[in-house]
Every structure is written in structure tokens, then in C-alpha cells.
Structure 1
Amino acid sequence: MMENQYPKRRIIRLQNYDYAQSGYYFVTICAHNRHNLFGQIENGEMKPNQTGKMVMVVLSELNGKFPGCYIEDSVLMPNHLHFIWVNESGHTDLTAAVKWFKGKSTSLFLKAAKAVGADGTLWQRSFYDHVIRNESTHERIREYIRNNPLQWELDRFYRATTAEKNRTTENPCF
């Protein structure tokens, strides 16, 4: 019998943790292959392109989609998105909310891409989350979100190749 030739994916969610319970969650979702699909940083400020604007509209729709849950804070960067998801209801699983968000934004992205004869993938598989367990961590994460555009060149997701800059400004999908 031959062993699986593919590497085993690392489980990134907390084992035995109920992601539907009330609480605060810090979420990061990256663009496919970390391409700069959403705009660019100019003078420490995010300037979203049409795809970035669409992503933020869909993110805002999360506030009314799941009762008792809302986005407390967020920042869109050229190739990723951070937000704090607040679950006051204890009924909506974080994964279900992210799945809905990624599905709706991808659907809109693909419709626009098809209209101009382009194709592509919007999001990287999965997402990163951090369960916020205390006020000092909550404040540190909120500060990180506020300052993220100012520190773009220091960000671990930073990409500034010529090809990426061209893809950001051209963005044929919207």
C-alpha cells in the first residue's frame, strides 16, 4: 500500500474549542497566493480598488447576516483582510461566518471577472483566527488593526514586486 504523497495539512483551529460560543475573534484572510488584489497603500493609508471596495461591502453585510454577531473593527490591506468578529449570541460558528463571507465575495468577484473575460481565485484556502481572551489582548489587536496600513512595509504579508503593483492597479475584474 502506498502512503499519501501529499503533505498532511496542519490543523490551525483550537482543538475541542466551540467557535460558536460568545466571544471576540481576530480573523485574517489572505488573497489567493497573497497577490495584491485589493488596492495599495499610499502615505500610510489604504486606497482600495474596485475589488477592495466590493470586499468591504460584503464584510459590512456580515453585520446583518448573523443575529447577535458583528464586525467590531477591520482593516483591508492590499493582499489580506483583518477583522474582529464579535459573537454575542453564542449560536453562530465563526467558520460559518467566514465561509459565507468568502463565498459571497468570491461569487461577485467571479461574475465581474467573467464579464471581462478574466478568471482567477480571490481567497487563499482557510483563514487564521485568534480567540481574544482578555482586554489587554483585545486592545493590542485593535491597535494593530488601526496601525496596519502605516506599517505595511514591515508586514509579513508585504509584497511590492513590479508584477504585483501592476496587478493591483490594473485589476481587470471590477
Structure 2
Amino acid sequence: MNNNDPQPENNKPKYKGKYRIDSTRLPAWSYTSNARYFVTICTKGKKCFFGEIIQGEMQRSPIGEIAQKLWYEIPHNFSNCQIDSFCVMPNHIHGILIINQVQDGDANQIQEEDAMNRVSTRGDGQRGGVTGLFNPMLSKNSLSKIIRWYKGRCTFEINQIYEGFGWQDRFHDNIIRNEFVLDKIRQYIINNPINWERDHEQPPHSPL
């Protein structure tokens, strides 16, 4: 067959969905926005790296201690982020992150980054990125960048003492809309170890 001959038609999907990961983010929401976010991150394969629950209390392993320590370091690395209730569970973590862009010196940069998220640089008025939606990874102040730092730092430090640790590719988040929901989520996080025996076979879920 030469290059001028008709080529066989290939109607099969190129990757058969192997490399496609649907976004779990809210499409119309800028994740640099001031808000409180309820975040859940699971270990790869839901393996219990972080310890075990004994009589309703979490007993953290050395790996779990690293996961705990690094969560509390988030505000030291992201001045726009504060932490609220948090817990390490055997195979996941729950936490509330508060994004608050309060520094005047960052105002112009944040506006520029939001604009980059909303409009492509192609000049055709269409939204950029593979999905055509806001790209949360473009901004250093975004929720995705914060979680990416946390997961990466945990993976690096944990693999110094235990090779083979990993996270699931995605994380789960909910935007906390009001004080009632905030209190409900706080109680859910606090009571998570007590409820472990009832739902540890199920994927971690949101109380909303």
C-alpha cells in the first residue's frame, strides 16, 4: 500500500477512555473564589496506610502522622488559605479549607489569574483548556493547586519511609454555602472515627 491508496477507516475510540478523567469540579465556579470547601482525599486502592480505628478512636501510623503534620502546614505555604476541622482516617482524610484572598498586594494578580481561567488566549472569545471550562490549575491560589501541593508533599515524605504509598488521582470537594452546613460538616468530621465500623466498606462520602 502506498500513501495514495485509500486508508482503512478506523472507527474505534483512540484511547477507549483509558486516559480520560472527567472533571469533578463545578464548571462555572472559580476555585480561587473566597469560600469554605469540604475536601476528601482517598488513598490509592483505599488501602489503610494511615492507621486503624480502635474503640472509636483513630490510632495514626507513622504515615498517618505525616499526613496530619502536612495538612497543618498548608497555611504556611498558601497565605490565602486557612484550615478548619480536619481528621485523618485509615484510608482517607477529611478537611475544611477556607480560601480568603485578603492580601491587597495580590488583588491584581488574582484578577488576572481569574481572567486566564475564564477566557482562552487564542483571541476567539472561547474558553481555554482541553475541556473548554475554567482551568483550576492555572492559578497558584486555587483549591486544586493547594491539594496538589499537599498530595505531592505527602507522597514525597511518606515514600522516604515506605515505598509504594499513593493517592487516588482525584479528590472530592463540596462548597460550603452557609453556617448550618458548616456545623453539619464539622460534626461529620469529628464523628467520622466513631462511625468507621458502620461505613468503612463504603467510599468516603459527603454528609450533604
Runs of at least 5 residues in structure 1 that lack an aligned partner in the other structure? 114-118, 160-174
- Over 4 Å off, 4+ runs: 156-159
Partner in structure 1 of residue 105 of structure 2: none
Secondary structure at the residue paired with 1:112?
coil
- 8 Å CA contact 2:57, 2:194 repeated in 1: yes
- Of 60-69 and 74-83, deviating more is 60-69
- 8 Å CA contact 2:24, 2:172 repeated in 1: yes
- 8 Å CA contact 1:152, 1:158 repeated in 2: no
Deviation of residue 101 (structure 1)?
A: 0.3
Deviation of residue 68 (structure 1)?
A: 2.9
Deviations 1:78-102 (A, max 9, x none): 0000000011117520000000000
Task: Give the share of equivalent positions with the same residue, in percent.
Answer: 32
Deviations 1:92-145 (A, max 9, x none): 2000000000010100112223xxxxx313211110000111111111100100
Q: Which amino acid aligns with 1:54?
A: I
RMSD after superposition:
1.7
Q: Which amino acid aligns with 2:74?
A: L
Secondary structure at the residue paired with 1:105?
helix
Matched, 1:152 2:181: no
Q: 2:90 aligns with which of 72, 78, 89?
A: 78
- Structure with a larger share of its residues in helix: 1
Partner in structure 2 of residue 99 of structure 1: 148
* TM-score, structure 1 normalization: 0.83
Deviations 1:29-72 (A, max 9, x none): 00110001000111111010100001111111102111131111
Runs of at least 5 residues in structure 2 that lack an aligned partner in the other structure? 1-9, 103-109, 111-140, 204-208
Partner in structure 1 of residue 158 of structure 2: 109
- 8 Å CA contact 1:79, 1:157 repeated in 2: no
- 8 Å CA contact 2:49, 2:165 repeated in 1: no
Deviations 1:10-45 (A, max 9, x none): 321101210011010000000110001000111111
Partner in structure 1 of residue 69 of structure 2: 57
Q: Which amino acid aligns with 1:136?
A: F
* Greater gyration radius: 2
Partner in structure 2 of residue 142 of structure 1: 186
Secondary structure at the residue paired with 1:99?
helix
- 8 Å CA contact 1:34, 1:157 repeated in 2: no
Secondary structure at the residue paired with 1:149?
coil
Q: 1:46 aligns with which of 58, 68, 83?
A: 58
- 8 Å CA contact 2:82, 2:99 repeated in 1: yes
- 8 Å CA contact 1:41, 1:78 repeated in 2: yes
* TM-score, structure 2 normalization: 0.70
1:86 to 1:106, Cα distance in 2 relative to 1, 3 A: same
Q: 1:5 aligns with which of 13, 16, 31?
A: 16
Partner in structure 2 of residue 167 of structure 1: none
